[in-house]
Structure 1
Amino acid sequence: MNALHQLLRCGLLLLALAGAAACESAEPAPQDGLVEHLALGNPSGATTDASFPNNYLLVKPQYVVGYSRDQGKPNWVSWHLSADWLGSAARQDDFRPDADLPAGWYQATASSYSGSGFDRGHNCPSADRTRTAADNSATFLMTNMMPQAPRNNQQTWASLEEYCRTLVGQGKELYIMAGSYGRGGTGANGYATTLDQGRITVPAHCWKVVVVLTSGTNDASRVTSATRVIAVDIPNDNGLNASWAQYRTKVDAIEAATGLDVLSEVTPAVQKAIEARVDTGPTN
């Protein structure tokens, strides 16, 4: 276990102990949640130090966010998807501000995107967290949202989300990182660079990296040069093709565009192999 993961485990244990002292009847948060969702790496080295407001780490049991205060949206969101996370909980649709942001920071609200022509686009999807109502509700925090052109969010992006869950149904477990970059997209009302009086940046591109593994343990060490990795870079444009497959790219290209190190916990030799190729596998 590396030093970062050891530190994170210690921090989560302290949080759990504090919560138990405050309310003995409360259900404890999963102590390994952060380690689970960042098993393949922290793409930007985000921390919980509020003096770095544009690389701020938000830890949820359901996913982890690298957040940008000045853009009012995530740089990236990372989560583990396996059959354990899927169940029968209904979609909660309870979009709301995130109380875990530091005091005094801008808070996107449920209405911040209203009338903009852009969807409140999930990074970690609602349908990836249906084990419990609480898990599903967590995906509706506004810190998990990015402004997405409706056709992007509802068709192209949604079809890749559905394909990921199809892979889980085939006995796979996935590590997924998603985010956005650039400035300016074309929504239902035309081109825009910001929302909510300039406080939310409309990205030019939405990206996703999906690492596909057979269910097992010690996941980072099981990523090999033969592991399937799906990477997409999708323009944030309402005129998109509905098929996500045509937007496949190299992880290297996403890293070059964003400055992130997406799979930093994977051994360098394996990273070099899997990040340099474009996926050609099935799409449904």
Structure 2
Amino acid sequence: MMRFRHLSYFVFIWIISVSCQQTEVIPRISLEEEQMLLGNPSGASSDVRNTNNYLITRPQFALSYSKSRGTPNWVSWHVSKDWLGNAPRQDNFRSDVTLPEGWYRVKASSYSGSGFDRGHNTPSADRTKTVEDNAATFLMTNMIPQAPKNNQETWANLEDYTRELVQAGQEVYVIMGSYGTGGTGSNGGTVNNIDEGRLTVPSRIWKVVVVLPEGNDDLSRINANTRVIAVNTPNTQSVRTDWASYRTTVDAIEKATGYDLLSAVPTDIQEVLESRVDKDPVR
């Protein structure tokens, strides 16, 4: 009987050992790292001397900020069901006091009378898990002067579609940005800047969306068949509301901006994904 007990004990230990060896250990990343999983498109850094490519990382999103333009160059974030909840829209537009000392801090009132919306990069509705998450999206470092029709119709439709994908069992990584000078708002005419020249009005607004089924270890799951949606729209009141008609390639956006998008993805996979225009039906 004693011999049988010893044998049972060793069999139990062996089973536990094998189970532990077969359990996949998935490394945890911080929320800040999650928002930049696809890479740092412009090589932004938090060095205060890097005034027009200054890196700001938050649990809710990451961005490259331009002091001279008064807007982000690009903003990067992740959306999964875990980020979506019932927190109400805060509407607490405010200056970003984390900007370096001496830098102009865009105010909530800086867009007043300009004919342009305070256009979110990371949308309010993408961050509804907590009040704190939603409030973060109303920092003025997350805003660009956006033509009202572009913001409220074209871009809103794309944002709604992105969240529909998430609710249907996908998760998405998004990079959005703007470039150029001169847009047309509700006051008419091309406007190059607002707020007494301290805010540049972009001429183009772009977005790249990488779509994955829900899962873990997301970067390793991106392959040559992964869906990538790239869109580039004019910042005008005459913009079409059908965002899908503005689909383009990541390569084209990179050529226009000088950025290296999806830089954390293996080069061979990048080459395939970035040269392809998304053709999937959107409704």
Offset, 1:278: 0.5
Q: Which residue of 1 aligns with 2:228?
A: 229
- Separation in 1, partners of 2:237, 2:117: 11
Offset, 1:282: 2.0
Offset, 1:140: 0.1
SS of the counterpart of 1:242? Answer: coil
Letter of the aligned partner of 1:74 in structure 2?
A: P
Q: Which residue of 1 aligns with 2:17?
A: none
Letter of the aligned partner of 1:94 in structure 2?
A: N
Question: Please, what TM-score do these two structures have when normalized by structure 2?
Answer: 0.89
RMSD: 1.0
Q: Could you tell which deviates more after superposition, 216-225 or 170-179? A: 216-225
SS of the counterpart of 1:124? Answer: coil
- Separation in 2, partners of 1:263, 1:241: 27
Give 1:17-56 correspondences, 5 Å limit.
32-56=30-54
Offset, 1:59: 1.0
- Separation in 2, partners of 1:215, 1:44: 28
Give 1:40-79 correspondences, 5 Å limit.
40-79=38-77
Unaligned runs of 5+ in 2: 1-27
> Which deviations, in whole Å up to 9, do the C-alpha atoms of 1:214-258 show, x marking residues without a partner?
111221111111000000000001011111000000000000000
Q: Which residue of 1 aligns with 2:241?
A: 242
Answer yes or no: is 1:144 the counterpart of 2:158.
no
Letter of the aligned partner of 2:237 in structure 1?
A: N
Give 1:142-181 correspondences, 5 Å limit.
142-181=140-179
Structure showing greater radius of gyration is: 2
SS of the counterpart of 1:70? Answer: coil
- Separation in 2, partners of 1:56, 1:215: 32
- Separation in 2, partners of 1:222, 1:31: 16
Answer yes or no: is 1:111 the counterpart of 2:109.
yes
SS of the counterpart of 2:175? Answer: strand
SS of the counterpart of 1:75? Answer: strand
- Separation in 2, partners of 1:101, 1:283: 38
- Separation in 2, partners of 1:224, 1:83: 22
Letter of the aligned partner of 1:229 in structure 2?
A: V
- Separation in 1, partners of 2:29, 2:51: 25
Offset, 1:34: 1.6
Q: Which residue of 2 aligns with 1:211?
A: 210
> Which deviations, in whole Å up to 9, do the C-alpha atoms of 1:140-187 show, x marking residues without a partner?
000000010000000000000000000001110100000100000011
- Separation in 1, partners of 2:76, 2:128: 17
Letter of the aligned partner of 2:119 in structure 1?
A: G
- Separation in 2, partners of 1:260, 1:33: 23
Answer yes or no: is 1:278 the counterpart of 2:251.
no
Q: Which residue of 2 aligns with 1:100?
A: 98
Letter of the aligned partner of 1:63 in structure 2?
A: F
> Which deviations, in whole Å up to 9, do the C-alpha atoms of 1:116-147 show, x marking residues without a partner?
00000000000000001110000000000001
Give 1:258-269 correspondences, 5 Å limit.
258-269=257-268
- Separation in 2, partners of 1:233, 1:166: 20
Offset, 1:31: 7.1
Letter of the aligned partner of 1:43 in structure 2?
A: P
Q: Which residue of 2 aligns with 1:5?
A: none
- Separation in 2, partners of 1:281, 1:56: 35
Identity of aligned residues (%): 59
SS of the counterpart of 2:74? Answer: strand
Letter of the aligned partner of 2:65 in structure 1?
A: Y
Q: Could you tell which deviates more after superposition, 196-205 or 216-225? A: 216-225
Letter of the aligned partner of 1:169 in structure 2?
A: Q
SS of the counterpart of 1:211? Answer: strand
Q: Which residue of 2 aligns with 1:127?
A: 125
Offset, 1:99: 1.0
- Separation in 2, partners of 1:147, 1:115: 12
Answer yes or no: is 1:202 the counterpart of 2:201.
yes
Match of residue 186, structure 2, among 185, 188, 197 = 188
- Separation in 1, partners of 2:162, 2:199: 28
